[in-house]
Amino acid sequence: MEPIIARHGGYRKLKSFQLARLCYDVTVRFCERYVPAGSRTRDQMVQAARSGVQNIAEGSEASGTSKKTELKLTSVSRASLEELLLDYEDFLRQRNLPMWPAADPRRASLVARRCRNADEVAAWVRGVRDDALRAERDGACSNAAAPGYPEIAANAALTLIGVTCALLDRQLAALAQAFAEEGGFTERLYRVRTAQKRRKGEMD
């Protein structure tokens, strides 16, 4: 028989949660290095990153009795990460630093690296910086100066947030379809009660 409370939780296995948490850790480290302490921007970036993580977890836990709440909180997570993405874009724009285009091979390199924590992302950032300095020294790059750490770190964060947002978009679409087809807790309760009455009638 269909359970009244659906299977729920398991958010730690979601790729969206794992990447959102990585974005949070990367943002905390980024703000400690490049955003002035005590500034409103720093607080907002950290809170937006944290919201991206916490709302996925809360929505997953609530899904047992409310698919509608899961859908809503997952949407809040997606919106928080969009806000964070804009903050990184503002950081680059206000310092006249370039935002790497979607086709930039460095973005693909970071995605392919599948970093598991902020330390691995930081190692990738150092590697990109070292490669750029080496190319500059060998005369293998254009006249533009090698990118500095703030540029590389901000673009790395933008890349990770972009992947996370894409995953959340797919997750939201799947949740919306499931809700439309199966309903929420009220519909589930109705199905279970109907099945119980039918079963009792057959036994009588």
Query: Does residue 138 lie in a domain region?
Result: no
**Does residue 10 have a pLDDT over 70?**
yes
pLDDT at 176: 85
Range of the domain at 54: 11-123+149-203
Q: What CATH number has the domain bearing residue 118?
A: 1.20.1440.60
Four-residue CA torsion sign, 46, 52, 55, 57: negative
Enter the pTM of the model: 0.83
195 pLDDT band (50/70/90 cuts)?
A: low
The total number of structural domains in the chain stands at: 1
pLDDT at 122: 98
Query: Does residue 105 lie in a domain region?
Result: yes
Which tops the pLDDT comparison, 204 or 116?
116
pLDDT at 67: 81
Query: Does residue 154 lie in a domain region?
Result: yes
Query: Does residue 144 lie in a domain region?
Result: no
pLDDT in tens, 80-135: 999 999 999 999 999 999 999 999 999 999 999 999 999 999 999 999 999 999 98
CB 96 within 8 A of CB 81: no
Query: Does residue 139 lie in a domain region?
Result: no
